[in-house]
Copies of this chain bind each other. A is one copy, B any other.
Amino acid sequence: MSSLHSHERLHEALPQAAFETALASLRARGERVTEGRRAVLRALAATSEHLTAEQVVSALESTDPGVHRATVYRTLDVLAELGIVSSVHVSGGANLYHLAASPAGHEHLHAHCRSCGAVVVLPADALDAVVERAHRLAGFRLEASQSTLVGTCARCDGR
């Protein structure tokens, strides 16, 4: 195998690294690390896509058949609560999940296209001013990476 410390820049996150980080977060919070949770995290770490709970279930069917659908839902819920995964809330449709710290190793925001359903990623700090303002005005502690902005993506807007 090639050396593990060859590059400092990781444009494409190593699934392995993201996975380990997530596990560490779990332990740090005093949460138990079970096979089901490992499996869910592995599935999320393996892609940069935003997956529905049901897609995670499907993914695990081949690799980790003992993990029940209910466990996937419960696990995603816990992970979202802890901020280890962030989720995109879509009108009517299923929530989409992925590791908060992936794919490029840092947090980010989500925007959802009402027309084609695409998820557009925005810089994590785009909401910083809003976070502060919401807190001053309403005492609201806004979690930027759990919020889903809605609109029309560039592709759909151009027609």
Contact = CB atoms under 8 A, between A and B. Distances in A.
A66 interface: no
A134 B111 contact: yes
Interface in A90-120: 90-92, 95, 111, 113-114, 120
A133 B126 contact: yes
Interface residues of A, number: 38
Q: How many copies does the complex hold?
A: 2
Contacts of A123: 137
Contact of A151 (B111, B140, B157): B140
B142 A146 contact: no
B137 A122 contact: yes
Contact of A142 (B89, B137, B150): B150
A151 B133 CA distance: 13
B130 A126 contact: yes
Given A87-B91, A95-B92, A111-B134, A140 B126 contact: no
Contacts of A146: 114, 150-151
A157 B142 contact: no
Interface of A: 80-81, 87, 89-92, 95, 111, 113-114, 120, 122-123, 126-127, 129-130, 133-134, 137-143, 146-154, 157-158
